[in-house]
C-alpha cells in the first residue's frame, strides 16, 4: 500500500513518522505530493496537487481518501490501532467534514516546512521518490 502525503506539511510529516515507528510489518510505502510518483498517483485518483486536502491511500487499483484512508491505515497497523475502526460508527459526512476542516487549515494549525521530509537511511527504501 502506498500513502501519498504532503511532505512540507508538518502534520503530514508527523503522521508519516508515526507510521514508520508503528508499521512493524512494513506494509506501507510513501510518496510525497512533491515527487513524480505522488503526482502520478494523485492524477490516477483524479486529484489535483494544487487543491489537495486529503491523504491518499493506494492499494493496487483502489484508492481511499479522507477518513476512509486514515482508518484503513490504522487498521493495517494492527492492535491497538485497529480499535480506531470504532470511528466507522460516526457517519462519513461528519468524519470527513472534520477531516477537511483540519486539512484546509493544516499549515496554519501545524506549520509548514520549507523543505520536504527526509527519511532516515534505514527508511529510505520505503520512500518512492
Report pLDDT digits (tens) over 9-59. 888 888 999 999 999 999 999 999 889 999 999 989 888 776 667 789 999
- 2-5 and 56-59: which strand pairing? antiparallel
Segment 66-93 shows an average pLDDT of: 92
Length of the chain in terms of residues written: 129
| Chain mean position to CA 26 | 15
Q: What is the pLDDT of residue 116?
A: 64
Task: Assess whether pLDDT exceeds 80 at residue 78.
Answer: yes
Question: What does the pLDDT look like over 85-128, one tens digit per residue?
Answer: 888 889 999 999 998 888 888 777 777 776 666 777 888 899 99
Q: Which three cell numbers stand for residue 113?
A: 516546512
Q: What is the pLDDT of residue 115?
A: 64
List alpha helices for the chain, DSSP H: 10-22, 36-44, 66-77, 92-104, 106-110
Segment 54-80 shows an average pLDDT of: 92
Q: What is the maximum alpha-carbon separation in the chain? A: 40
Contacts of 71 (CB under 8 A, 6+ apart): 84, 85, 87, 88
Q: What is the pLDDT of residue 127?
A: 92
- 103: number of Cβ within 10 Å: 19
Residue with grid cell 508503528, as numbered in its chain = 22
Amino acid at each position: 500500500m502506498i500513502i501519498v502525503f504532503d511532505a512540507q506539511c508538518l502534520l503530514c510529516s508527523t503522521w508519516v513518522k508515526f507510521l514508520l515507528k508503528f508499521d512493524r510489518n512494513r506494509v506501507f510505502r510513501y510518496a510525497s505530493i512533491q515527487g513524480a510518483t505522488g503526482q502520478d498517483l494523485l492524477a490516477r485518483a483524479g486529484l489535483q496537487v494544487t487543491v489537495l486536502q486529503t491523504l491518499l491511500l493506494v492499494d493496487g487499483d483502489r484508492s481511499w481518501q479522507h477518513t476512509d484512508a486514515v482508518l484503513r491505515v490504522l487498521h493495517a497497523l494492527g492492535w491497538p490501532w485497529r480499535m480506531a475502526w470504532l470511528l466507522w460508527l460516526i457517519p462519513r459526512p461528519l468524519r470527513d467534514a472534520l477531516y477537511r476542516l483540519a486539512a484546509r487549515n493544516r499549515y496554519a494549525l501545524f506549520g509548514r516546512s520549507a523543505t520536504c521530509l527526509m527519511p532516515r537511511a534505514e527508511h529510505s527504501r520505503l520512500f518512492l521518490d
